[in-house]
């Protein structure tokens, strides 16, 4: 019987690669040689752990399943892949804890003026600064997937009123007091003193937040984006910050990444930029590989895969 041929798209740490000893006996695991193009090694591969671009996709005649070892899948949303019968899975559900922690790190850094205090330390300057108390405010979570739900859970501990909006018709969890559809986005934004952006980038969410949306928010609100930079119209965000409509923004993602040196975002005193690092965790690579191995057992057994992506929706 021919083996299921699996290609790991990049070398992993030795302890992560050692986990692959747990794959079924009917599986043959290969690694893409460092620096070599995927298209030259994909022809007989049935299962790919990693990303595949349009050029390599033309050679992937045996491919039946691709696993994205991250949560975002926009890099797969080109016609040749979307229209193929290749199944796509991702690592959604593995990032909620650390991204929620990062979201609150950004928010608290803004409201407690931590960047300014760190600047004071450089000159041993002692000065009390005005700070914002968050308890009692309303946090609006845009996108109530695994990350949004993790943020909602933690927001309750901060004594926020928590509301959420989602493109899908989902059940309202107990951690959320009110759930809005995307059709009621403006009503949702009108209540959000803190807006946390947790939704994926799709044609529907591209520049979803622009001038009208920021103007709808309460005065002196905060925006935290830990999902995708292209959800926000950055010109509109900058206008809202400069006018004082928004009190600040914490951005782990930007419209263009890396954020260009000429971007005005770098120079705004009430903006904190981090380098798309919210998903970082000492545990994430092990969790991602374990999810893939568990799914590999399901694939070999002919069972449904978990974390299957709807390629037409883009998530």
Q: Which residues are catalytic?
A: 228, 257, 276
Determine if the peptide bond prior to 83 is cis (ω within 30°). no
Instruction: Please name which of 92, 99, 53 lies closest in space to residue 295, comparing C-alpha atoms.
Output: 92
Instruction: Give dist(CA 5, CA 284) in Å, integer.
Output: 25
Q: Which two tokens stand for residue 45?
A: 């591969």
The β-bridge relationship of strands 221-225 and 161-166 is unpaired
Instruction: Give dist(CA 311, CA 119) in Å, integer.
Output: 46
Instruction: Give dist(CA 78, CA 312) in Å, integer.
Output: 10
Instruction: Give dist(CA 202, CA 190) in Å, integer.
Output: 23
Strand partners, 197: 142, 225
Question: Residues for the chain: how many in total?
Answer: 315
Instruction: Give dist(CA 314, CA 73) in Å, integer.
Output: 7
């Amino acid at each position: 019987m021919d083996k299921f041929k699996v290609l790991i798209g990049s070398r992993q740490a030795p302890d992560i690669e050692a986990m692959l000893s747990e794959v079924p006996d009917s599986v043959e695991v290969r690694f893409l040689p460092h620096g070599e193009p995927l298209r030259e090694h994909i022809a007989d591969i049935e299962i790919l752990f990693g990303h595949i671009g349009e050029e390599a996709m033309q050679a992937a005649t045996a491919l039946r399943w691709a696993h994205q070892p991250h949560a975002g899948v926009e890099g797969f949303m080109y016609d040749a892949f979307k229209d193929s019968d290749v199944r796509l899975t991702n690592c959604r559900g593995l990032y909620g804890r650390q991204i929620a922690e990062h979201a609150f790190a950004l928010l608290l850094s803004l409201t407690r003026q931590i960047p300014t205090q760190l600047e004071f330390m450089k000159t041993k300057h002692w000065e009390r600064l005005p700070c914002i108390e968050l308890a009692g405010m309303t946090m609006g979570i845009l996108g109530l997937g695994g990350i949004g739900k993790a943020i909602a859970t933690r927001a309750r501990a901060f004594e926020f009123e928590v509301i959420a909006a989602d493109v899908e018709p989902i059940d309202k969890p107990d951690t959320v007091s009110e759930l809005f559809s995307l059709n009621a986005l403006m009503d949702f934004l009108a209540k959000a003193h803190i807006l946390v952006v947790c939704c994926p980038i799709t044609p529907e969410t591209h520049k979803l937040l622009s001038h009208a949306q920021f103007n709808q928010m309460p005065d002196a609100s905060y925006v935290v984006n830990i999902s995708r930079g292209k959800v926000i119209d950055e010109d509109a965000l900058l206008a809202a910050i400069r006018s004082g409509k928004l009190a600040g923004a914490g951005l782990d993602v930007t419209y263009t990444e890396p954020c260009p040196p000429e971007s005005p975002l770098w120079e705004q005193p009430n903006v904190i930029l981090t380098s798309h690092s919210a998903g970082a965790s000492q545990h994430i690579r092990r969790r991602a590989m374990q999810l893939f191995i568990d799914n590999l057992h399901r694939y070999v057994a002919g069972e449904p895969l978990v974390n299957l992506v709807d390629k037409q929706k883009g998530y």
